[in-house]
Structure 1
Amino acid sequence: IFEKISSSQFPTMDNSSLELLRDGNTSLQMELQSCATPRNQASRIFLYAFLSVGIVCTVVGNFLVVLSIAYFKQLQSPTNYFVMSLAVADCLVGLIVMPYSMIRTVEGCWYFGALFCQLHSSLDVMLCTASIFHLSCIAFDRYYAVCNPLVYSLKMSHSRVAFLIVVCWAVPMLISFGPIMLDLHIAGVDILLPKDVSFHLPMAIMLVAYWKIFKAAKRQARQINSSKKQRHRNTMKREKKAAKTLGIIMGVFLIFWMPFFTVNIVDPFIEYSTEVIVWDIFLWLGYINSSLNPFLYGFFNRSFRKAFLMFMGCRVCLPGSSPGMELSHTRKEGNERAQ
């Protein structure tokens, strides 16, 4: 992934120019002279406007997710701690990755030097990998909540959730920044890791976990119909609904990133002939996924939707608003929770 992103950020340069950039011997003036801008002014303005809207939605939407979970006690659960950490990763994508990628995509050139190219690519890989790790943890969290509810509180204690979140950040950081910190890219050392293992292996694990959740949910649907305890029925319904929402989020993530990782595998077999514009389109599909999660939370989860509306309308500052307030959408739902 790192190799391909780094190469695609210099689309108009030949291999010798790339080698000079890696060695740090090419000046910014040479980079500008070797870049071409095939797009006309109108298309550039349109792309800047369109991609800027995506960046703003990514940052603002995910910041709302973080604020909502941090402020409202009802949203503070083991699952939502993973969701909040995932939102931090997506927000960072919008803040420090997408703006520079937007300029590279629109201008057809990388203006920020070889060193920052390495840093930008490493951040890109790190945050993408962190997102996949978080989704894997969410899949396991939902697996225990739906399939093994009796051991859920033991398996997903606050200390274990905190440990898993640290792992979700530490491992991607080592994978992406380790080679640069050790100067392996300067020494010309190749790290022999399976291609795209950080995407396809977690994807397989998530699919297996959600298949088991799907089978358990069908079995529990019959139990909900036959259960006479309203509290038990409400709990099972909430867990199923949470699993469904997060399953949709996981599915959207896989759909939007699958083209990029698929082409990344196929490209060597076609002698690296994939056009730069194809890489740009598939890469931006992955970026756009970071802006979709807040909309999915708002669409499928009533509590998140109400929390978002309260922050956007500044109603959290009004009298009567408190971190412990009820976020249920309807009075009926609030009455069911009290039973």
Structure 2
Amino acid sequence: MDNLSLGWLEEANDSLQMELGSCTTLRNPASRIFLYAFLSVGILCTVVGNFLVVLAIAYFKQLQSPTNSFVMSLAVADCLVGLVVMPYSMIRTVEGCWYFGSLFCRLHSSLDVMLCTASIFHLSCIAYDRYYAVCNPLLYSLKMSNSRVALLIAVCWAVPMFISFGPIMLDLHIAGVDVPIPQDLCVFLVNRVYAVMASLVAFYLPMAIMLVAYWKIFKAAKRQAMQISAMESQMASGVGKDSSKKKKHRNTMKREGKAAKTLGIIMGVFLLFWMPFFTVNIVDPFIDYSTEVVVWDVFLWLGYINSSLNPFLYGFFNRSFRRAFLMIMVTLCIPLFISKMYKHLCKRTAVLLLPEYHLSK
């Protein structure tokens, strides 16, 4: 490497050290209050939404299926993201400082990588499950037996734990990274090898599985819709009811459009919220860690938002889940309403009887 390249590299490291050299809160009080309120709402939605999914599947037996086993495990991972990862990330993002020590910084980074990767792995397992349910329904019960589902769920937790806690707690992810980080900052820098390997395992491989599975599902659904439309057309033409044929054809097209829209939303949301982070995660070590901190924060919180949207994509869009959520809300709200009404009646009764009690005395 020539002197010019070495000089440029030293200047880049010096600028990075200046950026990481001190822990200072640059935001004014108003922006900090707004960020705390906004991010707290996101954390609350993540925890409550995923907890409702777990509660619904655990309580209602009709929701306990192989697919919903993946959805339940996904909800557990996303709920833990909201409980143990996002609150500390919120403080770090808003304050610009890390108040919890270097050991907890590594633990927090390990949990962050593990739980977000587990969430992505569960999404690919759901796509794999739906592929066999739609494209190979005769093999579905064989491929998605209880033991197979349990094994896949175990893999969804074991592999993320392997690629997070081991390398991060042993500092293998920063081997060869010559950038000193102050004690009052928690910056997740990784070397090139870990950046590429972890991103491939945590995101790009599951993304490829999801793309292939949903593309085949879309093709199978389109083919089935065309077959159904052809059968309905023949039946309608045999009876001679032209209007009935057109109506059934429209219904078939609506089913096809709804299936395509659902698959498009699932893949679109997944790519929109996770692609920016993992792209920067790979590129940043190759450009000498020159990505701005605010860019990291924005892309990281986009990924977190995906955990809050998963209950809506995989739960609230399902009619059975919506009914279960409604029953849970009614079950929780009615006792609270009765309790408030009882207290109100007791107060009103005391007010009415108190004067008579004094007069009698």
The interval holding the TM-score normalised by the smaller chain is 0.7 to 0.9
Kept in 1: contact 2:130–2:217 (CA 8 A) = yes
Cα distance in 1, alignment partners of residues 31 and 280 from structure 2? 26
Equivalence for 1:274: 291
Alpha-carbon distance, 1:178 to partner = 1.4
Cα distance in 1, alignment partners of residues 116 and 38 from structure 2? 22
Cα distance in 1, alignment partners of residues 78 and 150 from structure 2? 19
> Relative to structure 1, is the Cα distance of residues 174 and 62 closer, same or farther in structure 2, using a 3 angstrom cutoff?
same
- Aligned ranges 1:74-85 → 2 under 5 Å: 74-85=62-73
Equivalence for 1:259: 276
Q: CA RMSD in A?
A: 3.2
> Relative to structure 1, is the Cα distance of residues 243 and 169 closer, same or farther in structure 2, using a 3 angstrom cutoff?
farther
Q: What residue identity is the alignment partner of 1:301?
A: N
- Does 2:290 align with 1:287? no
Instruction: From the CA coordinates, give the structure whose radius of gyration is larger.
Output: 2
Equivalence for 1:47: 35
Alpha-carbon distance, 1:268 to partner = 3.5
> Relative to structure 1, is the Cα distance of residues 112 and 141 closer, same or farther in structure 2, using a 3 angstrom cutoff?
same
- Higher share of residues assigned helix: 2
Match of 2:117 among 108, 112, 129: 129
- Does 2:188 align with 1:200? no
Deviates more, 1:157-166 or 1:308-317: 308-317
> Relative to structure 1, is the Cα distance of residues 238 and 140 closer, same or farther in structure 2, using a 3 angstrom cutoff?
farther
Aligned residues: 285
Cα distance in 2, alignment partners of residues 183 and 143 from structure 1? 39
Kept in 2: contact 1:66–1:84 (CA 8 A) = yes
Kept in 1: contact 2:53–2:315 (CA 8 A) = no
Cα distance in 1, alignment partners of residues 76 and 270 from structure 2? 16
| SS of structure 2 residue aligned to 1:314 | helix
Cα distance in 1, alignment partners of residues 109 and 308 from structure 2? 19
> Relative to structure 1, is the Cα distance of residues 14 and 294 closer, same or farther in structure 2, using a 3 angstrom cutoff?
same
Equivalence for 1:217: 221
Q: What residue identity is the alignment partner of 2:133?
A: A
Equivalence for 1:336: none
Q: What residue identity is the alignment partner of 1:216?
A: A
Equivalence for 2:86: 98
Cα distance in 1, alignment partners of residues 31 and 44 from structure 2? 20
Structure 2's unaligned 5+ residue stretches are: 1-14, 178-190, 236-253, 336-361
Match of 1:310 among 302, 307, 327: 327
Kept in 2: contact 1:62–1:90 (CA 8 A) = yes
Which stretches of structure 1, 4 residues or more, deviate above 6 A after TM superposition? 185-191, 237-244, 315-318
TM-score by length of 1: 0.75
- Aligned ranges 1:1-339 → 2 under 5 Å: 15=17, 34-180=22-168, 184=172, 192-193=193-194, 194-195=196-197, 196-198=199-201, 199-225=203-229, 226=231, 245=262, 248-297=265-314, 299-314=316-331
Deviates more, 1:239-248 or 1:99-108: 239-248
Alpha-carbon distance, 1:121 to partner = 0.5
| SS of structure 2 residue aligned to 1:266 | helix
What per-residue deviation string (whole Å, max 9, x for no partner) do you get for residues 171-229 of structure 1?
1101101124556469879794534112112211210111111111111112334279x
Q: What residue identity is the alignment partner of 2:272?
A: I
Alpha-carbon distance, 1:276 to partner = 0.6
| SS of structure 2 residue aligned to 1:111 | coil
Cα distance in 1, alignment partners of residues 68 and 78 from structure 2? 15
